Amino acid sequence: MRKQVVAIVGRPNVGKSTLFNVLAGEKISIVKDTPGVTRDRIYADATWLDKSFTLIDTGGIEPESNDVILSQMRDQAQIAIDTADVIIFITDVKQGLVDSDSKVCDMLRKSKKPIVLAVNKVDNFQKDILDMYEFYNLGIGDPHPISAASRLGIGDLLDVVCEYFPESDGEEEDDETPKIAIVGKPNVGKSSLVNKLLGENRVIVSDIAGTTRDAIDTLVTHDEKEYIFIDTAGLRRKSKIKEEIERFSIIRAVSAVERADIVVIVIDATEGVTEQDAKIAGIAHDRGKGIVICVNKWDAIEKNDKTIYEHTRDIRDVLSFMPYAEIIFISAKTGQRINKLFDVIDMVIETQSMRVGTGVLNEIMSEAVALQQPPTDKGKRLKLFYITQVAIKPPTFVIFVNDKQLMHFSYTRYIENKIRDTFGFKGTPLKFIIRERK
């Protein structure tokens, strides 16, 4: 089952970030070599009992004045409605019920999304609880008292949130059609690309059952194979604040990426690869998705025999955390190499699901170890006992070692490269889990 997306919505200062940090805990995903993505806490992995989900904080930008608070909250609520499976609407018991709370609540209620009402700053469950009852007036069900700062009521809140998650043995599993998210900064050509994909291929429906979003999932048939394209371009948010536009585009990307098997990252050839591209790409990498990098508007730039080489080098440089990604140069306008895009997607679908036998893996690992001795620390040498593949999408390997502390990132990377030398695994990240065996 795909990971559920939970968004936190509320006025400034009600405690969104505090709650976000409590829920994300230590789990805020930190992949050392993924730049940008982890600097701002827009999204994080969270778990509660046996459930794991992706948490999104829709806030984060301080409105400059009171009169923009409401419009900004509406934007945030809309983003949550567009992207989340469950919305936590958070209010503040100390400030009480405020007009903008009610207005935003109307909007949330109309969306028919599951909404969980949290009343924060109930620091004293005996004393403050009476003030909580006015929040029934919002008409979205029971208010759940919490104190984010003192971590009170959090478990009960999460129980309610998780009740809205589908049972994991749902029908979703049966759907084998590959899902491909098209992501990228505004104006790189995402909509044009989607239109091109649709235009040249038979479109069957544009509304896949089971998705709660606006009709942005499109089923496309190409060479008698089916693909579902998840288009983030349609979900545009207008805003004057640059950081806000950027934040929204990241939130959109997170939720699209979460639902996808493969992510097509669109880059604008006329602009070259940027930090913002790296942030968006980092999300897909972090999430272990298959990756295709599409350099679009290839028709619009002057080219000589070095151009492809230069673009490739710049992309490898800025996106150095995903050397495995395939890069193709396309034009959504002229249709150049659109067929190639399908070929690359097919290849990535295959590599993401590839399984390698334990025997071969252990041969590769022993050879690698023989070629380059594992590191030592304080006189103790790392020993690698055994490797086995435990999952696909992304291919995931467990390596048993004598001491986890000794298994440096760079040595894991070395083993990864040896596996890639033999099997390629083009277009997919590989995941390594290091376990100790005494």
* Distance, CA of 52 to chain centre: 13
Region near ligand GDP per CB under 6 A, out of 25-33, 186-194, 351-359, 421-429:
186-194
Q: Which of residues 96-125 bind ligand GDP (CB under 6 A)?
A: 120-121, 123
Pattern 49-68, ligand GDP, x by CB under 6 A? ----------x---------
Please identify which residue in the block is written with the tokens 């394209």. 229
Q: Are 406 and 378 in contact (CB under 8 A)?
A: no
Region near ligand GDP per CB under 6 A, out of 15-23, 172-180, 215-223, 283-291:
15-23
Q: Using the 8-state DSSP alphabet, how is residue 156 labeled?
A: H
Q: Is 343 in the site for ligand GDP (CB under 6 A)?
A: no
Written as one string, the DSSP assignment of 54-121 is EEEE---S--SSHHHHHHHHHHHHHHHHHH-SEEEEEEETTT---HHHHHHHHHHHHTT--EEEEEE-
Among 183, 233, 257, 295, contact with ligand GDP (rule: CB under 6 A): 233
Tell me the closest approach of the beta carbon of residue 402 to ligand GDP, in angstroms: 43
Which residues sit opposite 47 in a β-bridge? Answer: 52
Tell me the closest approach of the beta carbon of residue 361 to ligand GDP, in angstroms: 40
Please identify which residue in the block is written with the tokens 């959504």. 332
Q: What is the edge-to-edge ordering of all strands in the sheet holding 115-120?
A: 43-48, 51-57, 4-10, 86-92, 115-120, 143-145
Angle (nearest 5°) at CA 14 between 13 and 15? 90
How many CB atoms neighbour CB 200 within 10 A? 12
Q: Which phi and psi (to 5°) does residue 332 adopt?
A: -70, -25
SS3 424: coil
Q: Is 188 in the site for ligand GDP (CB under 6 A)?
A: yes
Q: Are 270 and 13 in contact (CB under 8 A)?
A: no
Tell me the closest approach of the beta carbon of residue 21 to ligand GDP, in angstroms: 8
Region near ligand GDP per CB under 6 A, out of 154-162, 296-304, 367-375, 388-396:
296-304
What is the gyration radius of the CA atoms in the chain, in angstroms? 24
Among 29, 100, 111, 191, contact with ligand GDP (rule: CB under 6 A): 191
Q: Using the 8-state DSSP alphabet, how is residue 132 labeled?
A: G
- % helix, strand, coil for the chain, step of 5: 40, 25, 40
Q: Is 249 in the site for ligand GDP (CB under 6 A)?
A: no
Q: What are the CA-CA distances from residue 162 to residues 46, 90, 114, 192 (Å)?
A: 12, 17, 11, 37
Nearer to ligand GDP (CB atom), residue 249 or residue 351: 249
Query: Which residue of the chain is nearest ligand GDP when measured via CB?
Result: 189
Q: Which of residues 19-38 bind ligand GDP (CB under 6 A)?
A: none
Nearer to ligand GDP (CB atom), residue 292 or residue 365: 292
Q: Is 12 in the site for ligand GDP (CB under 6 A)?
A: yes
Please identify which residue in the block is written with the tokens 């065996």. 437
Nearer to ligand GDP (CB atom), residue 307 or residue 402: 307
Q: Is 274 in the site for ligand GDP (CB under 6 A)?
A: no
Tell me the closest approach of the beta carbon of residue 42 to ligand GDP, in angstroms: 12
Q: Is 15 in the site for ligand GDP (CB under 6 A)?
A: yes
Nearer to ligand GDP (CB atom), residue 15 or residue 427: 15
Tell me the closest approach of the beta carbon of residue 330 to ligand GDP, in angstroms: 7
Region near ligand GDP per CB under 6 A, out of 200-208, 325-333, 377-385, 395-403:
325-333
Q: Count of residues binding ligand GDP (CB under 6 A)?
A: 32
**Residue 158 CA neighbour count, 13 Å, CB half:** 22
Among 187, 320, 405, 417, contact with ligand GDP (rule: CB under 6 A): 187
**Cα separation, 7 vs 35, whole angstroms:** 23
Among 113, 144, 190, 259, contact with ligand GDP (rule: CB under 6 A): 190
Structure-block tokens of residue 70: 């409401």
Among 4, 16, 132, 143, contact with ligand GDP (rule: CB under 6 A): 16
Please identify which residue in the block is written with the tokens 């999932």. 217
How many CB atoms neighbour CB 78 within 10 A? 19
Q: Which of residues 349-408 bind ligand GDP (CB under 6 A)?
A: none
Q: Is 144 in the site for ligand GDP (CB under 6 A)?
A: no
Nearer to ligand GDP (CB atom), residue 17 or residue 239: 17
Binding residues for GTP: 10-17, 57-61, 120-123, 184-191, 231-235, 296-299
- The kind and range of the H/E element at 179 are strand 179-183
Q: Is 148 in the site for ligand GDP (CB under 6 A)?
A: yes
Q: Is the dihedral of CA 206, 208, 214, 217 positive or negative?
A: negative
SS3 230: strand
Binding site for ligand GDP (CB under 6 A): 10, 12-18, 59, 120-121, 123, 147-150, 184, 186-192, 233, 296-297, 299-300, 331-333
